[in-house]
Structure 1
Amino acid sequence: MPSAPIQADTRIDRRFAALKAEGRAGLVTFITAGDPDHETSLALLKGLPGAGADVIELGMPFTDPMADGPAIEAAGLRALKNGARMTRTLDLVRGFRQGDDATPLVLMGYYNPIYSYGVEKFLADAKAAGVDGLIVVDLPPEEDRELCEPALAAGINFVRLTTPTTDDARLPAVLANTSGFVYYVSVTGITGAGSASASAVEEAVSRLRRHTELPLAVGFGITTPEQAAAVARVADGAVVGSAIVRKVEANLDAEGKPTAGLVGNVLSFVETLAEGVRSARK
């Protein structure tokens, strides 16, 4: 039997319900907090909904991002070099919420920065800032007492990753405390490492739907509007991260500073992805 979705009324729940009513999938975008600097990062964050992002993942920079490929790892290092830290990440969320109270925002990263900040303080500050969910890639279900259960108690969705190697025996444990949506990582390995075939994604989504009623977002390896559309035909969301982060990097000057066109160029790219997602089922 599929696990029943945790009953809640969060921005994530409302957004996916609205997307379902529209008969389309959503575009989930990822950028790294503070990349390439705080001000540019805030401008990107504020511009993403207008460019077509339905859900935003904001990466928490960390010095040892074991699941990230070269693009996102480099973005984190750029951010850290320019003063990124957890307090400033939450400042970005606050700045975003001043003009947008509807778009779901999920912090994504690793447990170490949260543990260092202090779990109880982090959850209180994150909730107050306007964070809707967490994706913490290095905390398995066996460690749910560390962060997952306290996050749910604080009213913050805890989004879990599943992969092609997460078999039917393992899925119930992975999904037990998951809320908001399920993030299916369509390829094994680090971010930006390649892409799965459309048939493989469709088969995986069908299998996951037998286990959960939560929305399913598929990511890793989506770099073009066409790939985003292919995922959007079968899943509830298409996640794009590395391709957006690479677009940020492509708009830096020789000294690593943002060029005048960076924000506009990145958001224009997101618009093409959004168009792919929105036209997928027409």
Structure 2
Amino acid sequence: MSRIAGRFAELRRAGRGALIPFLEAFDPDPATSAAILRGMPAAGADLIEIGMPFTDPMADGPTIQAAGQRGLRAGATVAGTLGMVRDFRAHDAATPIVLMGYLNPILSYGPERFCDDAGAAGVDGLIVVDLPTEEADLLLPHATRNGLDFIRLVAPTTDDARLAHVLRGSSGFVYYVSITGITGTRTASSEELAAAIPRLRAATDLPVAIGFGVRTPAQAEAAVRAADGAVVASALIDLLAATLDEAGRAT
């Protein structure tokens, strides 16, 4: 059983949903980013998503775009992000880590090498936002060989025929993009979630985590009532950004 599957099984037995916070690698600098990552499990994180900074993050809103730019200015690379995970694993062997990013840096790094190095570093799952299902064979065989869960994004616009296609080869959990839009903008209503999640349940036995627009404790609570986990990203990055000095440095 993968670390991700094991964690969701534990939470199911405990009768609660997963809190999945997000941080952008190297935002605002490597040391601060690593300290935040190390502190997340004790602060309540059940799983953690780490964003791999990229120059053209098409699904991200202004908050995460700015975090990615700060990370890139601080020297973020794919190898550096994997190094963060490797260092984290020296102190925490239990908390699942998911890398979330875009295909271009992975292609530049080399898909097979990326999956080999991610598995060796202690990564548990991958979310590649702009990888079409039809091109999944670029990564899926290498991910599977390294024990990496391949986590797919499903949107409100994904119809039933497409849903079955997208979920083929998925593992870990399903990431439900709860809005038609970019990160950190609006939030899906409880009614929208209540209508959407049963359709996913009928199509897969995998846990479902809800992201894009979960900004408050009440919204996270609504998300885990409807599904199995809540991904919180922009709200946390906004809090971090508010602590930076005028030059964008950590205080």
With structure 1 as the length reference, what TM-score do the two structures score?
0.88
Seq. identity, % = 59
> For each residue in 1:5-32, what CA deviation from the matched residue of structure 2 results, as whole angstroms up to 9, or x when unmatched?
xxxx111010000000101101011110
Tell me, yes or no, if structure 1 residue 60 matches structure 2 residue 52.
Answer: yes
Q: Cα distance, 1:149 vs. partner?
A: 2.8
**Structure 2 Cα separation of the partners of residues 178 and 246 of structure 1:** 31
Q: Cα distance, 1:154 vs. partner?
A: 2.0
Aligned to 1:231: 223
Contact 2:154 / 2:174 at 8 angstroms: preserved in 1? yes
1:81 aligns with one of 56, 73, 76: 73
Runs of 4+ more than 3 Å apart: none
Aligned to 1:159: 151
* Aligned residue runs from structure 1 range 161-240, under 5 A: 161-240=153-232
2:63 maps to a residue whose letter is A
Aligned to 1:140: 132
1:127 aligns with one of 116, 119, 132: 119
Aligned to 1:263: none
Tell me, yes or no, if structure 1 residue 32 matches structure 2 residue 24.
Answer: yes
1:225 maps to a residue whose letter is P
Larger RCO: Structure 1 or Structure 2 (Cα < 8 Å, ≥ 6 residues apart)? Answer: 1
**Structure 1 Cα separation of the partners of residues 45 and 112 of structure 2:** 30
Tell me, yes or no, if structure 1 residue 10 matches structure 2 residue 2.
Answer: yes
- The DSSP-based 3-state class of the residue aligned with 1:134 is strand
1:216 maps to a residue whose letter is V
Contact 2:20 / 2:232 at 8 angstroms: preserved in 1? yes
Q: Cα distance, 1:203 vs. partner?
A: 1.3
* Alignment gaps of 5+ in structure 2: none
Tell me, yes or no, if structure 1 residue 41 matches structure 2 residue 33.
Answer: yes
Aligned to 1:265: none
**Structure 1 Cα separation of the partners of residues 160 and 145 of structure 2:** 27
Q: Cα distance, 1:199 vs. partner?
A: 1.1
> For each residue in 1:42-85, what CA deviation from the matched residue of structure 2 results, as whole angstroms up to 9, or x when unmatched?
00000000000101000000011111100000000001101111
* Alignment gaps of 5+ in structure 1: 1-8, 260-282
Aligned to 2:96: 104
> For each residue in 1:181-237, what CA deviation from the matched residue of structure 2 results, as whole angstroms up to 9, or x when unmatched?
000010011111200110111111111100000000001111111111111112100
Contact 1:181 / 1:217 at 8 angstroms: preserved in 2? yes
Contact 2:116 / 2:142 at 8 angstroms: preserved in 1? no
- The DSSP-based 3-state class of the residue aligned with 2:39 is helix
What count of residue pairs does the alignment treat as equivalent? 251
> For each residue in 1:75-96, what CA deviation from the matched residue of structure 2 results, as whole angstroms up to 9, or x when unmatched?
0000110111111101100111
- The DSSP-based 3-state class of the residue aligned with 2:48 is strand
- The DSSP-based 3-state class of the residue aligned with 1:144 is helix
> For each residue in 1:84-137, what CA deviation from the matched residue of structure 2 results, as whole angstroms up to 9, or x when unmatched?
111110110011111100000000010111111111111111101000000001
Contact 1:149 / 1:177 at 8 angstroms: preserved in 2? no
